[in-house]
Amino acid sequence: MMHSKTKRNEVVSMNIIELKNVGYAYENKRKVLKAINLSLEEGKMYAILGSSGCGKTTLLSLMGGLDSPSDGQIFYEGKNIEKAGLSAHRKNNVAFIFQSYNLIDYLTPKENVALTSKLPPQPILERVGLTEEESRRNVLKLSGGQQQRVAIARALASDAKVILADEPTGNLDEDTAAEIANILKECAHQMNKCVVIVTHSNELAKQADEVLRLHRGEMKMLDRLNQSGRSGCYTEIVLQTYKAFNR
């Protein structure tokens, strides 16, 4: 499937993020990621599934430049992110959405959105479903779903091509979670962003264009989850390695 798409577009630079043999070990030498190879494209929403502690969040942090891998390299639009500078990478290329929202508590939704963007914040906030009045409130006085919408708006406003979401619906009820998932999907499809979601929720993963499974530090790419909702029925297709992919 990956192959066919690459062939169809015939542009390698479509791979906005590439991971080459990325490994990560904690200071106590415990390896959480082993030689991960991965290519992610714009306009798609990816879901990375995995059990707790399997290294999902670590992988997301590495892609977002919050940390450096112990082995291997990460490329953004073909450039090594460490060479370009992690801070610049975070600033220009990626935007985070966290399970715990991580809004700045002394700023209003508008100001949170305006933190890294020069765009007018209100249209973006309205787009994710916040009213004008809600956009001026203290962020701590918003509901969880609303706070997460602000976080998404902040991510969208940042103009980054990659949105990295860590359990974005983890604290939310089913209906709200579904709405957030839709918003994220729209981001990928309509705004041509590369959305990467780390989750253990199958419901959320179902919405993704592609699903990857991280297991014991190794990555498996799965087919799109069955839209009909037969959860748990994954079809394992390819175990992609970078070498194989490239040649």
Nearer to another protein, 100 or 246 (CB): 100
User: Among residues 173, 210, 172, which one has the least CA distance to residue 38?
Assistant: 210
Q: How far is the CB of 106 from another protein (least distance, A)?
A: 4
- 151 close to 128: Cβ distance less than 8 angstroms: no
Size of interface with another protein, in residues (CB under 8 A): 37
Residue 43 or residue 121: which is nearer to another protein going by CB?
121
- Site residues for another protein, window 19-78 (CB under 8 A)? 57-58, 61, 64-68
Q: Which amino acid is at 27?
A: E
Identify any residues that bridge with 85 across adjacent strands, giving them in sequence order. Answer: none
Q: What span, in angstroms and rounded, lies between the C-alpha atoms of 55 and 67?
A: 13
Collect all residues with Cβ–Cβ distance below 8 Å to 159 and sequence separation of at least 6.
Answer: 92, 117, 119
Q: Which residue type occupies 168? A: P
Q: Of residues 148-187, which lie at the interface with another protein (CB under 8 A)?
A: 154, 158
Please give the Cα distance from 218 to 66 (Å, whole number): 20
Closer residue to another protein (CB): 44 or 90: 90
Of 144 and 189, which CB lies nearer to another protein in the complex structure?
144
Least distance (Å) between residue 55 CB and another protein: 12
DSSP characters over 198-209? EES-HHHHHTSS
Minimum CB distance to another protein, residue 188 (Å): 20
Footprint of another protein on 108-137 (CB under 8 A): 111, 114-116
Q: Which of 145, 238, 54 is nearest to 134 (CA)?
A: 145
Q: Which of 75, 76, 101, 242 binds another protein (CB under 8 A)?
A: 101
In whole angstroms, give the CA distance from residue 49 to residue 71: 22
* Binding status of residue 84 toward another protein by CB under 8 A: no
Q: How far is the CB of 90 from another protein (least distance, A)?
A: 3
Q: Which residues bind another protein (CB under 8 A)?
A: 57-58, 61, 64-68, 87-92, 94-96, 98-107, 111, 114-116, 138-140, 147, 154, 158
